[in-house]
């Protein structure tokens, strides 16, 4: 694999890794609805400000968020709202997995899975 391709995969992995936490997914989904300050995010997800700040740092380092300071508050927004398309894809994968499990369960319940 050439070096440029390897770098591209590494960059993709950094983004996916930044999203690989339930609280960060919740924060991203919240920010898809609009800009929020740390305090508002903490209240919305029912987590301490320090915890939210830590997760916002991870998302910011992955270059997924914009931020701006206004007085004492820092406001965050999604840099690229198309990240929500990724969420849609994940939901489709989960739906397909669930449908497969339901099929297997039905076969098992009717005795065809033995």
Average pLDDT, integer, range 23-43: 97
Question: Class assignment of domain 3-80?
Answer: mainly alpha
Kindly report the average pLDDT of the chain as a whole number: 93
Instruction: Note the pLDDT of residue 58.
Output: 98
DSSP 10-34: HHHHHHHHHH-SHHHHHHHHHHTT-
Q: What is the CA radius of gyration of the chain?
A: 19
Residue pLDDT, tens place only, 49-81? 999 999 999 999 999 999 999 999 999 999 998
Instruction: Note the pLDDT of residue 27.
Output: 98
Instruction: Note the pLDDT of residue 29.
Output: 96
Ordered by start, the domain boundaries in the chain are 3-80, 82-114
- For 55, other C-beta atoms within 10 Å of its C-beta total 20
Q: Which two tokens stand for residue 39?
A: 């305090």
pLDDT at residue 113 is higher than 60: no
Instruction: Note the pLDDT of residue 114.
Output: 56
pLDDT at residue 112 is higher than 70: no
């Amino acid at each position: 694999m050439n070096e440029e391709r390897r770098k591209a995969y590494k960059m993709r992995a950094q983004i996916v890794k930044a999203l690989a936490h339930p609280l960060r997914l919740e924060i991203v989904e919240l920010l898809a609805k609009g800009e929020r300050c740390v305090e508002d995010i903490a209240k919305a997800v029912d987590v301490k400000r320090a915890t939210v700040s830590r997760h916002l740092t991870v998302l910011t380092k992955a270059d997924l968020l914009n931020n701006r300071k206004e007085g004492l508050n820092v406001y965050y927004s999604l840099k690229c709202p198309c990240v929500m398309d990724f969420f849609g894809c994940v939901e489709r994968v989960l739906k397909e997995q669930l449908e497969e499990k339901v099929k297997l369960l039905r076969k098992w319940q009717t005795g065809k899975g033995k």
